[in-house]
Amino acid sequence: MFPINRFFPFLAVAVSLLAWHDPEPLLDWKSAITPLLTAVMFCMGLTLRWQDFRRIWKKPEPVALGILLQFTLMPLIAWALAWAFNLPDELAIGMILVGACAGGTASNVMTYLAGGDVALSISMTLASTLWGLFLTPWLVWFYARSGITVDSLGMLASIGQMVILPIAAGLFLNQYLPQVRAKLHNHLADIASAIILLIIAIIVSLNADEIATVGTSVLAAVILHNLLGLAGGYAIARWNGHTEVQARTIAIEVGMQNSGLAVALALKFYTPAAALPGALFSVWHNVSGALLAAYFRWQTQKTIKRQAASHQAIKITMEKQE
């Protein structure tokens, strides 16, 4: 089987360019995004155990830090970038909407590919979604002095369908039918990566027109918003004493927003122009997340090889001394 997981970041860039160049074949695939995400979450569930979530429950500090950064760092950065780039009011509101939303399910996927703490990522997504029911409208009012309402039941139903149910199904199989998981184990990362590539291609194709007409200022603002969120989440988590794996997970969770919700809110309460930052963010954060996940995975593999070489050197030294 072709090692899709190994070449994932390059393939993500390639399919994005192809989908943008010729979006027509995938325009009717919008309805497939939810079932495809559900399939990825099921693959992730097969790698988890109930004990992973029990561990998070006993030590909730990383979740608390992730939520704090999610709803302080991201909206503040969005507001500052909108001011720095002197964006028109509609685009500025769109930026603030992205910053005020909770983490999206894409963060769970990228955490999985990065070798992060998937249980922690899922816990943060669920918790930030619940807090977002109250904080997202308030933050939009605070930074933009504009009111919105959030479809609480719709958000919870969406999270339940795309995250909780498939993860629970994977956990169940892993617990009670381990032979199924054993057969799929070596292929799970490649299967998930292939599905994610298709999702990225669909998202790019659906936003091809917006990408073609976007100005450099809003594009730069969206990219910086994501990158500063990723960098800030990682740096603050490490400074706060969290482990490398926890810091990577928090960084991805903080930097990758529920941009789909931001687009929906912008279209409902404002104008199509206000939805542009969210549409661009939904494309960019999948590409940047793929690149960051590959970098984190490469760092992990390099560390493992260095430790193995060190242990081998110690073993040889001890044998010579004997």
Query: Which band of pLDDT confidence, cut at 50, 70 and 90, is reported for residue 101?
Result: confident
With beta carbons less than 8 A apart as the criterion, state whether 232 and 254 touch.
yes
Please state the φ and ψ torsions of residue 24, each to the nearest 5 degrees.
-50, -45
118 pLDDT above the threshold of 60: yes
| Tens digits of residue pLDDT in 236-290 | 999 999 999 999 999 999 999 887 778 778 877 877 778 788 878 878 888 888 8
- Asked whether the whole model's pTM tops 0.85, one would answer no
- Element housing 93 (H / E): helix 89-100
- Element housing 132 (H / E): helix 118-144
Which tokens is 142 given?
């605070």
| Tens digits of residue pLDDT in 132-174 | 878 888 888 888 877 667 666 676 677 677 777 887 888 888 7
* 51: Cα within 13 Å, side-chain hemisphere: 3
What is residue 103's three-state secondary structure? strand
Taking alpha carbons only, the member of 134, 138, 99 closest to residue 262 is 99
Which tokens is 280 given?
């661009």
Query: Which band of pLDDT confidence, cut at 50, 70 and 90, is reported for residue 216?
Result: confident
Q: What percent of the chain has a predicted confidence (pLDDT) above 90?
A: 20
Q: What whole-number distance in Å separates Cα of residue 223 and Cα of residue 54?
A: 36
Most confident listed range (23-37, 64-78, 182-196, 258-272)? 64-78
Q: What whole-number distance in Å separates Cα of residue 252 and Cα of residue 102?
A: 12
Which tokens is 246 given?
């926890």
CA angle 266, 254, 233 (to 5 degrees): 140
- The contacts of residue 109 (CB under 8 Å, 6+ apart) are 37, 40, 44, 192, 196, 289
Query: Which band of pLDDT confidence, cut at 50, 70 and 90, is reported for residue 316?
Result: low
